[in-house]
Structure 1
Amino acid sequence: MTPDLILPYDGILPVFASRPVWCGRASTVIGAATLGAQAWLGDDSVIRSDGQPITAGDRFWLGARSTVHIATESLPTHIGDRVTVGRNAVVHACTVGSDVVIEDDAIILDGAIVGNNVLIEAGATIFPRSKLESGFAYGGNPAKRLRPVTPEELAERAERLREASGEAASPAAHPEPPETEESVFVARTARLSGRIALGAGSTVLFSCELAAEVGPIVVGADTNIQDNTVIRSRGEGVVIGRDTTIGHNVRMADCRIGARSLIGIGSVLAPGTVVADDVMLAGGSTTDPGQLLEGGHLWGGRPARILGTLDAAKRAMMSHIVEGYCRHGREYRLLQEQEG
């Protein structure tokens, strides 16, 4: 059994020590990724190694709608043996030891180092450059050390996650994507339905779901929507401005996002949220229904609050991400066409 979609990046294809035990619907592995024996890849799981390597040891279990990625120009991702990742989790540009359990909706951010025999509880956010000591459970946002954890508890938690994966819903229909101009990239594993308008140069990456059930979804020019993000319109619709980044595994419904903004990995935007132009929302954040995020600030937390000013360095970083994803979109469109 092989992933639903395998693509090279920069001429490099993924390497598997042996054929995975299971590869779910729309599972995707890209680029310089190396997976050990007995891997399990759930529905809509994404391993995207486009610019730095990803390595995962033996018996790596990646739950449905979870994402493993790198920092394109700076940081790889390395994962040890017997690591279990639950559903809708993100492992991003970090190092994870062996015998680690990462529960549903958890996020590990850039430069973090996770020791061996660690439990990361559901919904936790591991902030950038954090160091998690071996043998402990961590939880919260930002994650804090909670208590010692035994190998027996880790094994039980891992088994629970795997059992839950076996109860996944049957495969959903895969509607035809909307017609787009040549500068737009929509991944083959993305699912788009309803009235959706994608601006020139926009990018919708692997296993995203955009469902315009009532109002429309409008995406501005050169905006990128990253792997496993889900956008639903059940009322007035969703409008996202130009030159904006929507990170991995974001959830949003019936909201407005301004231009030149960044919505961080794993954030959840409640209906009625309004994000002004020039906003950076930190990974793992949430908003309250109807909340307004004023422009020119870094926001973060649950619910989001102002953490600081959006200085020149952050603005430059956000612009650099947009430029990089415009380039990725062009590259992936060509690769997907060649893959057929």
Structure 2
Amino acid sequence: MSAAYNGTSPAFGGDPAFAGEGAVVLGRATLGSGAWLGPWSVIRADGHYVEIGDDFHLGAHATVHIAHDVYPTHIGNRVTAGQGAVIHACTVADGCVIEREAVILDGSRIGPGAVISAGSIVFPRSELEGGWLYSGSPAKPVARVTEPELAAYHQRIRNEGAKPQDDGGLQTSLDCFVAPSARVRGTVEVGEGVGIWYGCRLDAGGHRIVIGDGTNVQDNSLVTCEAGEVVIGPDVTIGHNVTLTDCVIESGSLVGIGSLIAPGTVVESDVLVAAGTQTEPGQRLTSGQVWAGRPARAIGAMDDRKRKMLALTLPTYRDYANRFRATPHHPLNVTDPS
């Protein structure tokens, strides 16, 4: 589906070659010809623009976004992004491969023909030379990539994208902004001003998910109950492609893009969890700290600048939600391969 933002609709160089169930393109996005958009994938251009070249492949549950009015996103020709990858407010040159669940963060520039390995994190404002394989958090060069190797990376990720996805299910009606491609199942209780964004999956199972006032759960995040509840306090931001299971996130905290919060984790109030962080089961992330790493560890104290950034995110997302809630959505046209 596609939708306008602030009066601007996406522009396509031709019908997508494929648009899976729940795939969405929103706002000031321009796509070239032959785009392959996996099930529940999200391209969202609110606050700034997204420009994407020809032959773009975006895997299931992958996300392309901008950074409010600070950074746009530029993606070149024949770029391949795997399942669960996040391309956020950065520049990705021609021929790059971003493997499954890798994250590229704000202001980064990736040179042509680079490969970002699965689960790696490209830190903000990184400059990565083309023609290399990068891995780790932060992503660092590992080896040169030959042309035949690069072609094999593209083909492998695109073959994974062709596998069927089964993410259907019942939709629970909630009194908040729930994006049309989000799926909510079971007992989910929400406060005032909550936003549940595109591609999100919330499954309470036999327990409860509780989300406090003003909190936003950003695109393609997964919130599940397995053996207990998930409780998210007020004024919390859950970033893109975050996984939360049987945990507690207290008020005024932010969980960064691509983080994995393990069962039994407690994130106390006034905490910033950096992108790509993974906690251990039962871990407690104490208040007033920035946490990062795999496993998570405290790397510094919160300060006024970080608190201001967290506070500004909340009204920005409420504004986005109000605008998209008032905008009609339209199906994406798909070229018939026959």
TM-superposed CA distance for 1:333, in Å, is 1.4
Would you say the 8 A contact 1:204–1:225 is kept in 2?
A: yes
Answering whether residue 190 of structure 2 is matched by residue 178 of structure 1, we say: no
Aligned residue in 2 for 1:212: 204
Aligned residue in 2 for 1:58: 54
Would you say the 8 A contact 1:261–1:277 is kept in 2?
A: yes
The 1-side partners of 2:80 and 2:174 are apart by: 38
Answering whether residue 107 of structure 2 is matched by residue 111 of structure 1, we say: yes
Q: Over residues 223-245 of structure 1, what are the superposed CA-to-partner deviations in whole Å (9 max), with x where a residue is unaligned? A: 00000000000122100000000
Would you say the 8 A contact 1:238–1:255 is kept in 2?
A: yes
TM-superposed CA distance for 1:38, in Å, is 0.7
Aligned residue in 2 for 1:280: 272
- Determine which of 7, 18, 21 is the counterpart of 1:22: 18
TM-superposed CA distance for 1:168, in Å, is 2.5
Secondary structure, aligned partner of 1:318:
helix
Q: Over residues 299-336 of structure 1, what are the superposed CA-to-partner deviations in whole Å (9 max), with x where a residue is unaligned? A: 11111111111100000000000111111121121114
The 1-side partners of 2:330 and 2:100 are apart by: 32
The 1-side partners of 2:167 and 2:62 are apart by: 17
**Number of residue-to-residue matches in the alignment:** 331
Secondary structure, aligned partner of 1:161:
helix
The 2-side partners of 1:173 and 1:318 are apart by: 33
Would you say the 8 A contact 2:111–2:130 is kept in 1?
A: yes
- Determine which of 185, 198, 211 is the counterpart of 2:190: 198
Sort the Cα spacing of 1:43 and 1:59 in 2 relative to 1 into closer, same or farther, 3 A.
same
TM-score, structure 1 normalization:
0.95
Answering whether residue 159 of structure 2 is matched by residue 131 of structure 1, we say: no
Sort the Cα spacing of 1:16 and 1:339 in 2 relative to 1 into closer, same or farther, 3 A.
closer
TM-superposed CA distance for 1:166, in Å, is 1.4
Aligned residue in 2 for 1:246: 238
The 1-side partners of 2:242 and 2:119 are apart by: 13
- Determine which of 36, 41, 58 is the counterpart of 2:37: 41
Would you say the 8 A contact 2:108–2:125 is kept in 1?
A: yes
Aligned residue in 2 for 1:161: 157
Secondary structure, aligned partner of 2:282:
coil
- Where structure 2 has 5 or more consecutive residues not aligned to the other structure, the ranges are 332-338
- Which one scores higher on RCO, CA 8 angstroms, separation ≥ 6? 2
Mapping of 1:260-275 within 5 angstroms? 260-275=252-267
Answering whether residue 113 of structure 2 is matched by residue 121 of structure 1, we say: no
Q: Which amino acid aligns with 2:201?
A: E
- Where structure 1 has 5 or more consecutive residues not aligned to the other structure, the ranges are none
TM-score, structure 2 normalization:
0.96
The 1-side partners of 2:25 and 2:268 are apart by: 35
Answering whether residue 261 of structure 2 is matched by residue 255 of structure 1, we say: no
Answering whether residue 12 of structure 2 is matched by residue 7 of structure 1, we say: no
Mapping of 1:92-107 within 5 angstroms? 92-107=88-103
TM-superposed CA distance for 1:339, in Å, is 6.4
- Determine which of 323, 327, 339 is the counterpart of 2:319: 327
Secondary structure, aligned partner of 2:309:
helix
Would you say the 8 A contact 1:214–1:237 is kept in 2?
A: no
Percent sequence identity is 45
Q: Over residues 35-82 of structure 1, what are the superposed CA-to-partner deviations in whole Å (9 max), with x where a residue is unaligned? A: 011110000000000011101101000000000000012000000001
Q: Which amino acid aligns with 2:142?
A: L
The 1-side partners of 2:142 and 2:168 are apart by: 42
TM-superposed CA distance for 1:215, in Å, is 1.4
Secondary structure, aligned partner of 2:327:
helix
Q: Over residues 264-302 of structure 1, what are the superposed CA-to-partner deviations in whole Å (9 max), with x where a residue is unaligned? A: 000001100000001000001100000000000111111
Sort the Cα spacing of 1:200 and 1:153 in 2 relative to 1 into closer, same or farther, 3 A.
same
- Determine which of 44, 65, 78 is the counterpart of 1:82: 78
Would you say the 8 A contact 2:43–2:65 is kept in 1?
A: yes
Q: Which amino acid aligns with 2:174?
A: E
The 1-side partners of 2:134 and 2:93 are apart by: 14
TM-superposed CA distance for 1:8, in Å, is 0.2
